[in-house]
Amino acid sequence: MPVIALVGNKGGAGKTTLSVNLAAGIAQSSSIAVIDADPQGSSLQWRAIAGDNANFPVYAPTFSLKQQAQSYAKQNDFVLIDCPPSVQAQQTIAVLEFADVVLMPVQPSPIDLWATVHTEKAISEARETNPKLKALLVINQLESRTTLSKLVRDVLDEIALPVADTAIRRRAIYRNSALEGKSVFGVGKRGADAVEELNSLIQEVI
């Protein structure tokens, strides 16, 4: 029962949007529980808006994220934790000590790429107590026509962490589906391209 953590070191990287939609994709064929450990509570807000449109539960964190995750893992195929947008946050540090997989969305912007360096250090430190931890950078909100987007893989190659083959493009449907209280899996043909890339990423992760 893998525990998947979504971690970032900067707000606005699209971490929660990716968390919700990854969970919705996994839930198409497996059971999954989401823990919203981000103090902003965006995943919980999405779940409240989604109502019956959601095909997975989202829980607030308890005093022990490890015990909470272990409890949900006994009842589900997967547990996904939406962590705070900082690798130095206590919740993030705690999750990295027991998670199986950590995904780190990175936008193709200089500030996001600089912040990724600190993420690499945090993963290295976490592996001292959690050597099984697998880490994967995910290029998020990619705009293929921009020069920086074309160079982002070359830049990330300088970081000692693997990069997912699948990149998540900047698409209006991610925002629009959230406004409707849905994931991209719940909006029919409008979400087809987004669904395809998310399914591709899910195959890489699990």
| pLDDT tens for each residue of 115-129 | 666 777 888 899 999
Separation CA 26–CA 194 (nearest Å): 14
How much is the average pLDDT of 101-105?
A: 92
Separation CA 29–CA 48 (nearest Å): 23
Structure confidence at residue 6 as a pLDDT band (50, 70, 90): very high
How much is the average pLDDT of 140-158?
A: 64
Task: Give domain 3-205's CATH architecture.
Answer: 3-Layer(aba) Sandwich (3.40)
Q: What is the pLDDT of residues 10-63, one digit of tens each?
A: 666 678 999 999 999 999 999 999 999 999 999 999 999 999 888 999 999 998
DSSP type of residue 56 = S
Sheet bearing 78-82, strands edge to edge: 58-59, 32-36, 78-82, 3-6, 101-106, 134-142, 168-169
Give the model's pLDDT for residue 14: 78
pLDDT reading at 159 higher than 80: no
More confident residue, 88 or 144: 88
Q: What is the pLDDT of residues 169-205, one digit of tens each?
A: 989 999 999 999 999 999 999 999 999 999 999 999 9
